[in-house]
Structure 1
């Protein structure tokens, strides 16, 4: 009970430290190594994934080491599109605490290693609502000075998505889009690989994976992300599904053609 009172007191005087900046920040890029996207194993929630994306978006291309990320509860909730109130501030602090404690395993094919680490090294909260976040140093090879084998996306895209499965699938689809929409991007794997990539429950068979996770994630992504039009395809051996593919049927060429048809239709009607 004392702790709850203390938390309420800390954030009662919250101030807006970035009134004109939060909308711009939603259009910052989140840049991370492909190993973080397709070879990391963790159990982050949707909110924790979004906080990590927010923090990563603050990293500058010229950074050679992790700097303390200075933000505020106001900025965090505003950028992540969360209502500002004491409960959500408390939930945000808990999520940061969980990011410090939760484990992530990162597989590195090139060096044949597995890194076992956490996400956030420390988080410091100020009475006026400011927050200082320092990332775990073990993540630096996957977030700093990336020249090859990395993927980037706009922060606003993952902010839009509510499900953790949608966020993870979105990142995987970005990672496999090698030519930036010039051709159909295809994510291919076995049902077991999809379970691993998305952190699905261990006891899920393919039917439950498809109905409870894949279809819902595809539906949300198609609804909210403009340059994605995902479709699930599957290959069978007998009656058993042994291969799953998710295609992003949106391409620059298709979008251009559809836009031309739309303009032509408007012109004709005029």
Structure 2
């Protein structure tokens, strides 16, 4: 970025929407974008993409230009307003424009290789215009099924890349909307791939440096998740890993029901 843009001489709020209201917007993605996309976004970039995706309306048939600002993004993501923060956001947007994402399609036996933004324009006064790459249309527009939704607030409050990705995988695995124990099952190698963990990690490193840390943060910050790790061995080798969400949403017919006023994702269709 040029030195001139690093100055941010006029920090303007172009947004008319309440920040807290925006945090309750839904982030809605095709399941393949959660389970089959491979990329190296860091936590900040993942949150920015969730912020941008939350701006998409259910009846949008194309990607519109998203008008936002450094002020708005920093407020929604809970970042300190400063020239340094804004310069970092500008760098994040530039990286999102350039970074590769690979989306695998099992039926077509194909892989889509693309970048996140078609355009990203930043003004010295902090104004921003973004347009998502058209290659993401099948995964973000006019979704009628096979999608996962969550509130922007949930991923905004998570600080780790691994926590954010694991949270999304658990939401996608929850086919019963919290009415039964959710299980995300895979081999250690699959978890490394899903979460972008180093392939060189032993299972012990994967568990202590990635999985357990992500579980601890999710259990602390997400009200309707209580995750635990269960493993299976063949001989002395770990061959299967289950991440289980043991939090169960009680139904009205259950006499022992305990209401949860902080329930994050409502039990109704996004559309």
TM-score of the aligned structures, taking structure 2 as reference length: 0.91
Work out the CA distance in 1 between the residues paired with 2:9 and 2:165: 34
Tell me, in whole angstroms, the C-alpha distance in 2 between the residues paired with 1:242 and 1:88.
43
Any idea what the Cα deviations from partners look like across 1:26-73, whole Å, max 9, x if unmatched?
000000011110111110000000000000000010000000011000
Q: 1:220 aligns to what SS in structure 2?
A: helix
Larger radius of gyration: 1
Among candidates 59, 62, 66, match of residue 62 of structure 1? 59
CA separation in 2, counterparts of 1:153 and 1:43?
21
1:158 to 151, 155, 158: 155
Q: Distance in 2 between matches of 1:151 and 1:218?
A: 20
Secondary structure at 1:8's aligned position in 2? helix
Unaligned runs of 5+ in 1: 261-270
Counterpart in the other structure of 1:3:
2
1:132 lines up with 2:129 in the alignment:
yes
Unaligned runs of 5+ in 2: 260-271
Q: Which has the larger share of helix?
A: 1
Aligned partner of 1:239 in structure 2 is 236
Aligned length: 257
**Which residue of the partner structure matches residue 253 of structure 1?**
250
Range with bigger deviation, 44-53 or 249-258: 249-258
Secondary structure at the residue paired with 1:259?
Answer: coil
User: In the superposition, relative to structure 1, how do residues 69 and 19 fare at CA in structure 2: closer, same or farther (>3 Å)?
Assistant: closer
Shift, 1:120, TM fit: 1.1
Sort the Cα spacing of 1:128 and 1:134 in 2 relative to 1 into closer, same or farther, 3 A.
Answer: same
Structure 1 residue aligned with 2:100: 103
Q: Is the 8 A contact 2:250 2:258 kept in 1?
A: no
TM-score by length of 1: 0.92
Structure 1: distance between partners of 2:176 and 2:116: 30
Matched, 1:39 2:36: yes
CA distance in 2, matches of 1:157, 1:38: 18
5 Å matches for 1:1-270?
3-4=2-3, 6-9=4-7, 11-18=8-15, 20-253=17-250, 257=256, 259=258
SS at match of 2:250: helix
Deviation larger for 12-21 or 181-190:
12-21
Q: CA separation in 2, counterparts of 1:135 and 1:110?
A: 24
Change beyond 3 A, Cα 1:160–1:240? same
Contact 2:158/2:221 (<8 A) preserved = yes
Q: Aligned residue for 1:263?
A: none
Distance in 2 between the 1:21 and 1:209 partners? 40
